[in-house]
Structure 1
Amino acid sequence: MKCAVLDDYQQVALSMADWSAVADRVEVKVFHDHFGNEDELAAAIGDCEIVVIMRERTPFRGTLFERLPRLKLLVTTGMRNASVDLAAAAERGIVVCGTRGGGEGTTELTWALILGLARRLVQENEALRGGGQWQSTIGVDLIGKRLGLLGLGHIGSNVARIGQAFGMEVAAWSPNLTADKAEAAGVRLAASKEELLESSDFVSIHLVLGDRSRGLIGARELGLMKPTAYLINTSRAPIVDREALVAALRGGTIAGAGLDVFETEPLPADDPLRSLPNVLATPHVGYVTEAAYRGFFRGVVADIEAFLNGSPVNVLG
């Protein structure tokens, strides 16, 4: 069988796991560059029975499945992938399997963004490297500040714990969050989304994208935030209205944003989020750590081996 591994940006897919368990039954070809359109993608992988995708970098919708008549197994890193049409896959008899990762990369990157914004690291580093003014900004202290979390799942709870270690007051809100769960995490349950936004100095998003969370933060919500407050999104881009965010950043409605997720990825070269001075952005690398990648690709090999042996595991849908 032929197997395509897509979007291996760092060129590590074959070195992060031992592929020998399937080497005698699978011919693997790895693609390092992102396919910009469905035509190019279908032409490149049309002869493959197995395709491996990295998170949500390349969507797999019904129109694409129709163009891949040989496809039998789709493996996605992670146990959830909103960019895969599971119903369309099932209609065509395509098995979709997930994998588990490791580490706490998204939690750690969330704090890298918070700290980078608070201490103006980009501006100060650029000035130092370019021979500019020595000390031109004043950092924001975290101790005593309020951290508001939209979502208190696994990542949100870990972000809360680190905020508490910095001496921050931590509150959380989500549609389903209960007082007992907030208390168990040692955080205050905000009375409402609006109260959380109005009272927080840093707002960090840790929600799953769905019908209720899509567009949860728009112009009205951004207008409730303090002009000195920062918004951090390492979850999913559509939770925040992009145009409203750009307008808020340009107009000084909020002090800045730390972003790791975007509605179009890779982010277009002319997108204003690349150049706004009050944005600290990274190219969706929250989960891109050695522990996660080793877990992902070991899981990929295990999923392929199980499928070839007639007993698929980690089946989604």
Structure 2
Amino acid sequence: MKIAALVQNVEFKQRIEEKMRKTNIFIDFIKNDEPLIPQIMDAEIIINSFNKIDRNLIDSCPKLKLVQQSGIGVDGIDIDYCTEKDIYVANVPLANAISVAEHTFLLMLYLCKNIKLDPLQSVSSTGRFVRREPDKIGFELQGKNLLIIGLGVTGIEVAKRAKAFGMKVTAITKHPFTKTVGGDKKYFVDYLYGIDKLVDVLPKADIVSIHTPLNQETENMIGKKELDLMKKSAYLVNVARAPIVSREALLGSLVNKNIAGAAFDVFWEEPADTDDPLLKLENFVLTPHLAGWTYEAIDSITDIMFMNFERILRGQIPMTMVNKG
């Protein structure tokens, strides 16, 4: 069985190779400097990181049985077409939740503490930080209102950490009634609502953190109307998918200081164009889609993937299949 890995992260490749040596499973890593289709056309399994798995690619792989996403988000895969072609699609829904939640707080603290590190001005030749007078004073997370959009596994991990910081936590989720058994405290939130209450809770939030998947329902969920409802002192954090937020609306809101700032680990095109106007703004922070990439997360991701590979070899359904029907 040929398994083709569309993987770029060096540590991830190394962990896959280590795991591969302990099994009877062999994996080919795609060479980025060569045409893609000839390298994957006879693959039965594709490991995908950030590539688009569209109809053209799927039709080019007639033996394909499984598309294994290396993260939780499968918005780049044409799942309906895979299902039509009897191809399984699987993700790793639990593996990097803690890593992403921790990164969320890195971004929150960066914004709230007004950290601005200019490598030419803020660090001396000895490697020590140079004291500067801030243009505004930062604030504590203690007592602040955090609005979590999307109370899945990662959202719950964020809520758990927010309570440790002494924050007041409100969550918006698609099916709130499925999470009320045993009380909302089970999910580390003070208030839990459906998406219909988003416009009601946005004006109360000091920080809005996005943890919902990207789909037809959530694309441009945060637009001009929603950003205008936020406090001028509020911050927006997005470690999910960039298109959940309207690009044009965010740029306008940041330029006009309608919100205090935003921090993203995702962008509309990756890697981001350094000339993009958002990247020119002092109140916008971008990290290069690395929230879920830690050694611990990579270990968990690899274990789940190999479990699914072994199930395919035995003619079984992947444990983390996302196909419907």
Calculate the TM-score normalised by the size of structure 1: 0.85
Matching of residues 79-118 of structure 1 within 5 Å: 81-99=74-92, 101-102=95-96, 104-118=98-112
1:152 aligns with 2:151: yes
Q: Which amino acid aligns with 2:82?
A: A
* Partner residue in 1 for 2:213: 208
> For the Cα contact (< 8 Å) 1:146–1:170, is it kept in 2?
yes
State the Cα distance separating 1:133 from its structure 2 match: 6.6
> Per-residue CA shift, 1:146-195, capped at 9, x if unaligned?
22222333322322232222222222233533594545434134693223
What is the SS of the residue equivalent to 1:192?
Answer: helix
Q: 1:75 aligns with which of 68, 76, 99?
A: 68
Q: Give the CA deviation at 1:93.
A: 3.9
Aligned pairs (5 A) from 1:227-242:
227-242=232-247
Report the Cα distance in structure 1 between the residues aligned to 2:97 and 2:172, rounded to whole angstroms.
25
Corresponding letter in the other structure for 2:247: R
Aligned to 2:302: 297
**Secondary structure of residue in 2 paired with 1:59:** coil
Amino acid at match of 1:19: M
Q: Take 1:265 and 1:281, find their aligned partners in 2: how far apart are those partners?
A: 11
Conserved? CA contact 2:2–2:42, under 8 Å: yes
- Indicate the residue corresponding to 1:283 in structure 2: 288
Whether the 8 Å contact between 1:22 and 1:305 is mirrored in structure 2 is no
Question: Which whole-Å deviations, capped at 9, do the CAs of 1:18-49 have from their partners, x for residues lacking one?
Answer: 213554x63x32237599xxxx3223323433
Question: 2 CA distance for matches of 1:49 and 1:65?
Answer: 11
Task: Report if aligned partners of 1:103, 1:291 keep a CA contact under 8 Å in 2.
Answer: no
Out of 269, 273, 278, the residue aligned to residue 278 of structure 2 is 273
2:70 counterpart letter in structure 1 = T
Residue type of the alignment partner of 1:128: S
**In 1, distance between residues paired with 2:139 and 2:119?**
16
Aligned to 1:59: 52
In structure 2, relative to structure 1, the CA distance for the partners of 1:93 and 1:157 (3 Å cut) is: closer
Measure the CA separation in 2 of the matches of 1:192 and 1:69: 45
Question: What is the CA-CA distance between 1:129 and the residue it aligns to?
Answer: 1.4
2:115 maps to which residue? 121
Question: Any conservation in 1 of the 2:88–2:318 contact (CA below 8 Å)?
Answer: no
Correspondence for 2:2:
2
SS in 1 for 2:285: strand
Q: Give the count of matched residue pairs.
A: 309
- Which one is further off, 287-296 or 178-187? 178-187
Q: Do the aligned partners of 1:6 and 1:51 also contact (CA within 8 Å) in 2?
A: yes
Query: Equivalent residue for 1:187?
Result: 190
Q: Deviation per CA, 1:192-225: give whole Å up to 9, x if none.
A: 3223211111111122333332211101111111
> What is the distance in 2 between the residues matched to 1:251 and 1:300?
45
Deviation for aligned residue 1:297: 1.5
For 1:230 and 1:21, the matched residues in 2 are separated by 46
* Alignment match, 2:133: 136
Cα distance in 2, alignment partners of residues 311 and 172 from structure 1? 37
Alignment of 1:5-24 (within 5 A): 5-16=5-16, 17-20=18-21, 22-23=23-24
Question: Is the alpha carbon distance of 1:49 and 1:122 closer, same or farther for their aligned partners in structure 2, counting shifts above 3 Å?
Answer: same
Does the CA contact (< 8 Å) of 1:10 and 1:32 recur in 2? no
Q: Which has the higher contact order (CA 8 A, sep 6+)?
A: 1
Q: Deviations over 1:225-244 (max 9, x none)?
A: 11111001112222111111
Q: Secondary structure at the match of 2:251?
A: helix
Unaligned runs of 5+ in 2: none
Name stretches of at least 5 consecutive residues in structure 1 with no aligned partner: none
RMSD over aligned Cα atoms: 2.8
Contact 2:97 2:153 in 1 (8 A): no
Cα deviation digits, residues 97-131 of structure 1 (max 9, x gap): 44452560111011000001111223377632168
